[in-house]
Structure 1
């Protein structure tokens, strides 16, 4: 059974959004690229809570990676994934911008 992700929209518009995302134990994100209709898509993710084990973010090309806690990347251009969360949860504050 796939663990359910909680995605709470704090602000949402066509160009900019802020979400609080919680990934529970046993969840993983397969490698993918996020499709966009037009423009350039940026994500700035702050890892507020890191899992006790697993849940490692991988990105083929991060613009910024600070201490494996803050990531700026182009999800429309760079493959990205999260390894299986073995223990605990992963909580992100995610800012998305589509220019």
Structure 2
């Protein structure tokens, strides 16, 4: 049984946003790069709830990876993905900055 991803915008502007994102069981994010019109795009993700199984974040180059829970990376330059969540859910607080 798979549900929908919920993406709740806490703050949103043209250069900075904060979102609370919940990924349900059976969800995955295929490898991709986030295109931006111009500038440099940074994401700082805090994994608040880790799935019981699966849901592993992969990035071809992280600026910071602390305890596989806090990630700072350039989604506009480096491939990133999340493996299938086998059990439980993945909840993140995501800060995005486009300079």
- TM bracket (short chain): over 0.9
Number of equivalenced pairs: 99
- TM-score relative to the length of structure 2: 0.98
1:59 partnered with 2:63: no
Deviations 1:50-88 (A, max 9, x none): 000000000000000000000000000010000000000
**Aligned equivalents of 1:4, 1:35: Cα separation in 2:** 23
**Aligned equivalents of 2:35, 2:2: Cα separation in 1:** 23
- TM-score relative to the length of structure 1: 0.98
**Aligned equivalents of 1:22, 1:96: Cα separation in 2:** 16
Unmatched runs of 5 consecutive residues or more in structure 1: none
Structure 1 ranges of 4+ moved more than 3 A: none
Aligned runs of 1:1-99 on 2, under 5 Å? 3-99=3-99
How far the C-alpha of 1:3 sits from its partner, in A, is 3.6
Unmatched runs of 5 consecutive residues or more in structure 2: none
